[in-house]
Chains A and B, each alone.
Chain A
């Protein structure tokens, strides 16, 4: 099987967020860059698929030179080769343009059986590029797959479970198809030391976005970013001896909390 996995590099959003001076982007100075966590699940699923059915895993990632680090991570986990779509920060890039460009490059690669992507990128959180790529490629997709039940290349189909409100859905889809991955669908493996060594020698092709015509491709522009300021009251009831409420304090703390919720917050 030819298995594709589309990975992005993202700002580690555990970190503190600061808006840039221009006011419409995030200041990435000193920011830690990581493989998008959802894409780790996608890489793991791709590698497991190869382990079961044979074939190769090709990584595709778009972004500036630094994303090579993320590509190497995927290769170290067990992917076989990679395509880097180099974009040194085109000013008019949005999700729509990105999806078009990535899909265009995938089409050139051709001959794939299945494509895995993450459900969304955790910095911008645009949540659409995976599904859009499927649409541009003209292949069916199953989004937010909680479990790949079966991939059957000889019967040319995949069966996936997807969670819906109040239950779940099982979807059967013909290959080639695209699957978007949320968390917890598998346990992404760590790159082993030999894996990391091998990754350095795996083939990595580069194409440049500047070779693509971007005119009029973007649909949406970010004009401003604000950091929400929610002031919390921080009224914490603690114990007298030691932090936890104990004994008779328990009853009193419950009473006090109810009073606060009723009289101060007015929510019960």
Chain B
């Protein structure tokens, strides 16, 4: 068993490295690698991905394992599971971390099961106990509770971490690049990705954004969601929505914030025509400042926000957006 601490890079569909990877590297360096006395390592899985090693080095990776394989060109569950489990079996790291993204949620528990490791999902704090066991905090019970969990005597110890929970801090290193070639037979990959559809957006990603503007069922139509997008763009914010708005077809599912959607934790969360359900708060309740605009003074959200206006969004939003515009153009 080695003392290495691994952070598996999460790649976007366009091939770039997701911010949560840098956040995880920074936090793992600060809280774990030093105390454990092991090297901080990045892991790149994909096809033609070795070029990213330098970016991982920028955030402190001293070594980068690269599993480069044609069969891993796009994310696929089994390919990734084989790649990471084989790499773990060969090099026996102490701790393995990944982002709690759609992909992390999909293959990380499978890898853990395959190598016999324990895994926790969606950690918001990571640390090491005095006897060098991974210790994490995360949300449970629809974000109404925060359990602390400690790993028992098994290796490796694995966790995913929630995006936007840690600061990405540069600590430039020139990493040693290690060829992590593993044998993957195309027959081992039983499930096939037959289509990937993405639509580009200029807005920041929900889980990474400093500011989020979200709309609920009260918007009334897809057309009216332009009010959300206008304000979001004015603030450089990501655009989000409730499940009710997504269900009604006002906007796509990848905008859904909440227990089933994305977990966000921005500095500023503006909730427009959102009642404030437990399930929605499970995804945004830890935002630093919460603002609500709602026409119902009894809406639950007014019991759990910082600032609010009781008013019709169609009255309030246009002048509010206009004033934000004036402010932005001043500065």
Interface residues of A (CB under 8 A from B): 11, 13-14, 16-17, 19, 24, 26, 38, 94, 96, 99, 119, 122-129, 131-132, 134-136, 140-144, 146, 159, 162-174, 177, 182-184, 218-228, 230, 232-239, 243-246, 250-251, 253-255, 257-258, 260-262, 265, 267-268
Given A146-B253, A165-B12, A184-B246, A170 and B319 contact (CB-CB distance below 8 Å): no
Residue-wise, chain B 247-285 has the 8 Å CB interface mask toward A (1 for contact) of: 100000110000110000001100000000010000001
Q: Which residues of A contact B288 (CB under 8 A)?
A: 267
Known: A146-B253, A167-B254. A225 touches B101 (CB 8 A): no
> When the two chains form their complex, are residues B112 and A171 in contact, meaning their CB atoms are under 8 A apart?
no
Whole-angstrom distance between the alpha carbons of A218 and B150 in the complex?
A: 11
Decide yes or no: A268 and B148 within 8 Å by CB, A165-B205, A166-B254, A167-B254 being known contacts. Answer: no
Q: Which chain B residues lie closer than 8 Å to A265 at the CB level?
A: 268, 289, 306-307
**Is the CB–CB distance between B309 and A13 below 8 Å?**
no
Contact, CB under 8 Å: B190 / A128? no
Chain A nearest CB from B197 CB (Å) reads 5
Known: A162-B102, A236-B307. 14 other contacts (CB 8 A): A122-B259, A128-B121, A134-B110, A140-B191, A163-B253, A165-B101, A183-B243, A232-B306, A234-B308, A238-B297, A239-B311, A244-B312, A258-B323, A267-B289
Expressed in whole angstroms, the Cα–Cα distance for A164 and B102 within the complex equals: 6
CB atoms of B286 and A96 under 8 A apart: no
Contact A228 B144 (CB under 8 A): yes
- CB pair A182 B260 closer than 8 Å: yes
B: contact size bracket? 35 or more
Whether B3 is near chain A, meaning CB under 8 Å from some CB there, is no
Q: Which 4 A-B pairs have the closest CB atoms?
A: A219-B118, A167-B198, A128-B109, A135-B113
Q: Return chain B residues, CB-CB under 8 Å to A182.
A: 260
Q: Which residues of chain A come closer than 8 Å to B119, judged between CB atoms? A: 96, 128, 219
CA distance A219 to B141 in the complex (A): 21
> Is the beta-carbon distance between A163 and B102 smaller than 8 angstroms?
yes
22 contacts across the A-B interface (CB closer than 8 A): A99-B113, A125-B122, A126-B120, A135-B81, A135-B110, A142-B191, A166-B199, A167-B13, A167-B196, A168-B253, A171-B194, A184-B253, A219-B118, A219-B154, A224-B147, A232-B304, A233-B306, A250-B311, A250-B319, A253-B309, A257-B291, A268-B211
Cβ–Cβ contact A224 & B106, under 8 A: no
Q: Which of B114, B121, B191, B243 has the most CB of A within 10 A?
A: B191
> B289 to chain A: which residues have CB within 8 Å?
261, 265, 267
Instruction: Give Cα distance in the complex from A28 to B316, angstroms.
Output: 43
Main secondary structure of the interface of A (DSSP, over half): mixed
Chain B contacts of A245 at CB under 8 A? Answer: 309-311, 315-316
A251 touches B191 (CB 8 A): no
Q: In the complex, A117→B267 CA distance in Å?
A: 35
Q: Are A171 and B140 in contact (CB under 8 A)?
A: no
Expressed in whole angstroms, the minimum distance between the Cβ of A212 and any Cβ of chain B is 17
Q: Given the complex, which residues of B lie within 8 Å of A218, measured CB to CB?
A: 118, 152
Query: Which residues of B, 79-115, contact A by the 8 Å Cβ criterion?
Result: 81, 101-103, 105-110, 112-114
- With a cutoff of 8 Å between Cβ atoms, the chain A residues found around residue B305 in the complex are 232, 234, 236
Q: Is B77 in the interface zone, CB < 8 Å from A?
A: yes
Provide the residues of chain B in CB contact with A135, threshold 8 Å. 81, 109-110, 113-114
**Bound CA–CA A235/B310 (angstroms):** 11
